[in-house]
Amino acid sequence: MPYRPEIYDWAREIIDKQMHTLIAGCSGSGKSKAEESILYTMMEKSPYENLFVLLDTKKVELVDFQNAPHCAKYSDDPAEIPFILKKVEEIMQARFSRMKAQGLKKTNEPTLWIVIDEYYDLMTLCNKKDTMPILTRIASAGRAAGVLLLACTQRTTRDVVGGMISANCSVKLGLRTVTAQDSRNILQVKGCENLPKYGKGILQIDGINKTIDIPMTKEEYIHDRVDSWNRIDWRSRYGNRQ
């Protein structure tokens, strides 16, 4: 699929909505490609607007973004992830304190996206007692503080994509699933089982569904965008908006 700026409109819609987001589909459905397209689109704006923490337990899916100035932290070590999430929780609480002092209901600080490449790995490779309570806290309270989850998984069973994640993610992107029940687990409606293997998805925002085209963002596009941010003095150009 050739590069066209307008095919990223769906990613801009997700980012601008400023809500917790779930991306789910069977293995090989293009989850990582959708994830890359969203991160690539986040970097249209400066780090004063979008920051991300990348949790890449597969060690290869998010590595192209780790040197971007938007990347506050990258980790591919499951043993390290609980400590990173604890730090994120502390950042969230500090933002709430500053909001209270300034009389704000919503933060004016950069959006901090916690990008989880495989949510199921956090349930199995990390200590659930250390990770799940923090994720639940972020999911329930993080939006006002500008701390948002972008959780991705190829496990589309109800025990993984249901519960806390389903209840708190108002934005969901369903990719190809094996069965109609898997689709219902993600979106509460069938349809993902009829999608092509990759290249399309069903985007659900506030319960409204639409089918979208999902580009394969080439590695050279990502590297060019990362390099372009690292080549400029973006602090002087964009100013400190915190």
Tens of pLDDT along 208-229? 999 999 989 999 999 999 999 9
pLDDT, mean over the chain: 93
Under 8 Å between Cβ of 15 and 8: no
Q: For residue 56, is pLDDT > 70?
A: yes
Half-sphere exposure in the Cβ direction for 107 (13 Å, CA):
25
**pTM here?**
0.93
Which of the residue ranges 1-5, 17-21, 121-125 has the most confident prediction, judged by mean pLDDT? 17-21
What is the model's pLDDT at position 1? 41
Rounded Cα distance, 66 and 31, in Å: 18
Under 8 Å between Cβ of 164 and 155: no
What is the model's pLDDT at position 166? 82
Rounded Cα distance, 59 and 61, in Å: 6
What is the model's pLDDT at position 38? 97
What is the model's pLDDT at position 207? 87
Under 8 Å between Cβ of 150 and 21: yes
What is the model's pLDDT at position 2? 47
What is the model's pLDDT at position 240? 61
Phi, psi of 173, deg, nearest 5: -120, 110
pLDDT band at 236 (very low <50, low <70, confident <90, very high): confident
Mean pLDDT of 74-100: 96
